[in-house]
Structure 1
Amino acid sequence: MNGPASTGRPVIGICARTAPVTFQGSDMVVSFALQAHLGFLAAAGCTPLLLPLLPGVEALADRIDGLLIPGGPDLDPTLYGEEPHPGTWAATPDADRVELGLIRAALDAGLPVLGICRGMQLLNVLHGGSLHQHLPEVTGHDGHRPDTPSFTLGTQPLKLEPGSRIAALLDEDEPVTACHHHQAVNRLGTGLTATGWAADGTVEAIEVTDHPFAVGVQWEAGFTPDRRLHQALVHAAGRR
């Protein structure tokens, strides 16, 4: 890998997100990453690298040592063979396809991969799975994404599969998530194992079977002080 050879620190790629902003009076679209992801990864001993979701970015899989797939907008439902629900906000269908190609390249290269929220959903769809497009219609409540005027995290107690990677990482008797999502895994993709669930049965963690480290979590890692998942990703990248 080019990262450790040149800097002594593993390089973790972060899939960029885009958003319109107004800066110094001008409207523009920017690529960005949540600062907490950058800070947590850097503090764990890696060099974070923002990866724009442009055609050809998958070629960078041989220049990084791990991949973080953060939260973001809903996926294009045509990727899993469905029409959009009225509540689905699929803002970046072209970027969805580019991102799936990057994730596929990272997995094929054996890179450690951590998917957060949308990132976990991308892992599932990549493996042929599908999504519940509006979770409150399935669970009967909005506890996973509270219906409030401002951004509010929900809390969900977790049941973890004993012996799973995610159970070893969290190492708690009664872990609780901080979540903000209205979509979730429906049909689990081939080659994936569900390893965490909310009390209402919603899948909250998945792992790619027979991969050294490829984990997806549905909760908002990065919006709380908990750095364990970021540290685990960097540790796995450093082992390579």
Structure 2
Amino acid sequence: MQTPARPVSGRPRIGIPVRLSSSEDPDPRVGEANGLFDYIVGLLRDGGADPVLLTSAEGLAGLDGAVLPGGGDLDPRLYGEEPGEACYDVNHGQDALDLAVARQSIDAGLPVLGICRGHQLLNVLYGGSLVQDMDPGAVAHREPSPRHGAGPWAWHEVGIAAGSKVAGLYGSGGAAAAVTVKIASGHHQAVARVADGLVVSAVADDGTVEALEDPARWVASVQWHPEALELPAAERLAPFRAFVEVCRNRAASR
């Protein structure tokens, strides 16, 4: 079943799977991820959508798009590895919910946007793998912390490929020029093997895969957090408003 959303005339209905881990968890990253989930819901609403909070993958036929948010680590067994010590908040119910929403949304032809964990989940769903814990390198992807990611964001720039779906979320709309954006980064995992069927549309200076997309359908993902509260309000809202427009166009074409 799903949590009912109050229908709003003319607004696309975008599903987002709820977070199942409690904010009371002693690991502060869990509460932080739940707070970011709330930001995403608010930005979708402010961007012109009617967010629908999903507790199962049922009822997707009534939706116009889906967003896969951040959260804890995927079970590495999903990509053929045993979990390492750095993995945190591995929740099999969350994995099952997110994967079911992603798979059924893609099968239904819905636009899908993955954010952080959602970016990694899409790569795994398509058959790729992840780096379970990134080694420090030339680009800081998280602030140094013994808890692997708790604390303030690391900030760095990424170049987004011209004409890509992700570039379109940041205003290029398929223009010839590439887009460079400063991002809020807080991840300790990354894409390792890029899945067949996905293409890389943004990378960091150290080669970390920062965005992916499916060239055959509207499925895209970013490793960073466009919803980070520290970003200027207009910059936070812009990619969500653009995704809402993608979903609105999809609904109008049915």
Give the structure-2-normalised TM-score. Answer: 0.80
- 1:94 paired residue number: 93
Pick one of 141, 144, 165 that aligns with 2:141. 144
Equivalent position to 1:199, from 194, 198, 205: 205
Deviating runs (4+, > 4 A) in structure 1? Answer: none
For 1:233 and 1:168, the matched residues in 2 are separated by 9
Q: Any idea what the Cα deviations from partners look like across 1:159-203, whole Å, max 9, x if unmatched?
A: 222221222332475322111100011101111011000000000
CA distance in 2, matches of 1:210, 1:156: 30
Is residue 73–residue 89 contact of structure 1 (8 Å, CA) maintained in 2? yes
Displacement of 1:140 in angstroms is: 2.8
- Partners of 1:158 and 1:78 in 2: how far apart? 30
Whether the aligned pair in 1 keeps the contact of 2:73 and 2:90 (CA below 8 Å) is yes
Q: Which residue of 1 aligns with 2:158?
A: 158
Cα RMSD after superposing both structures: 2.4
Structure 2 unmatched ranges of 5 or more: 25-33, 173-177
2:42 maps to which residue? 39
* 1:108 maps to amino acid: D
- In the alignment, the residues of structure 2 paired with residue 65 and residue 168 of structure 1 have an alpha-carbon distance, to the nearest angstrom, of 18
Q: How many residues align?
A: 224
Measure the CA separation in 1 of the matches of 2:214 and 2:16. Answer: 19
Structure with a larger share of its residues in strand = 1
Deviations 1:38-94 (A, max 9, x none): 221111111111112xxxx22221121110111000000000000112111142023
Cα shift at 1:155: 1.2
Of the candidates 228, 243, 248, which is equivalent to residue 233 of structure 1? 243
Other structure's SS at 1:14 match: strand
Pairs within 5 Å for 1:29-108? 34-52=37-55, 57-108=56-107
> What is the percentage of aligned positions where both structures have the same residue?
38
Distance 2:168 2:244 in 1: 16
2: CA distance between counterparts of 1:33 and 1:148? 19
How does the TM-score come out when normalised to structure 1?
0.85
The one-letter code matched in structure 2 to 1:15 is: P
- What CA distance in whole angstroms lies between the structure 2 residues aligned with 1:199 and 1:15? 32
Q: How far 1:147 sits from its partner (Å)?
A: 1.4
The residue that corresponds to 1:216 in the other structure is 221
